[in-house]
Amino acid sequence: MTASLVAGRVRIRPPRTADAEQLGVLNRQLGYATEIEELVARIDKLSELHEHFVAVAEVDGAVVGWVQAEHRFSMETGDKAELVGLIVGAAARRSGVGGLLVQAAEDWAADRGLRSIVVRSNVIRPESHSFYKQIGYTQSKTQHVYAKSLQRKSAGC
């Protein structure tokens, strides 16, 4: 797919539960294996969360990418938007789809009155670093991310 071919054919729209299988294929391309039933549940839940924006890019009836942004509020920075997910399928990369998805998220954030948007990009994905720079993002810091699994406490304790 070339940028000129995609530009006229891409449709940005909210995800539907019927998209779950195609979203699963996209997620697996970047190493995020998710069961179809779980994706359906996530689509349903995200459609109810007004602090989140989720959209898919559709070309000729096929979902070729998705984006998710969130309205965040913190003591440190106040209100801002954060891109929390962006995946474009291998066949549609470098065609303009990613830029259109990010633009849709930026428009959503601006419509909410947010004045900035940030994105975190894994160091193992250097192609995404150059993509974000190309569309006007600047690197503001480098950080480590730490994770810890939590165990639910039993009701009897």
**Domains, the chain, ranges and CATH?**
3-134 (3.40.630.30)
Neighbours of 28 (CB within 10 A): 12
The percent of residues in the chain predicted with pLDDT above 70, rounded, is: 93
132 vs 15, more confident: 15
Comparing 36-40, 88-92, 126-130, the range with the smallest average pLDDT is: 126-130
pLDDT for position 81: 96
pLDDT for position 55: 97
Question: What values do phi and psi take at 23, rounded to 5?
Answer: -65, -35
DSSP 138: -
* Residue 140 clears pLDDT 70, i.e. is over it: yes
Token representation of residue 150: 């939590």
Long-range contacts of 24-29 (CB under 8 A, 24+ apart): 25/89, 26/63, 26/64, 26/65, 26/66, 26/87, 26/88, 26/89, 27/87, 29/87, 29/89, 29/90
- Mean pLDDT confidence for 68-86: 93
pLDDT for position 7: 58
Pairing of strands 78-88, 62-74: antiparallel
* Residue 5 clears pLDDT 60, i.e. is over it: no
Comparing 34-48, 55-69, 138-152, the range with the smallest average pLDDT is: 138-152
**Residues sharing a CB contact under 8 Å with residue 111, sequence separation 6 or more, in sequence order:** none
26 vs 34, more confident: 26
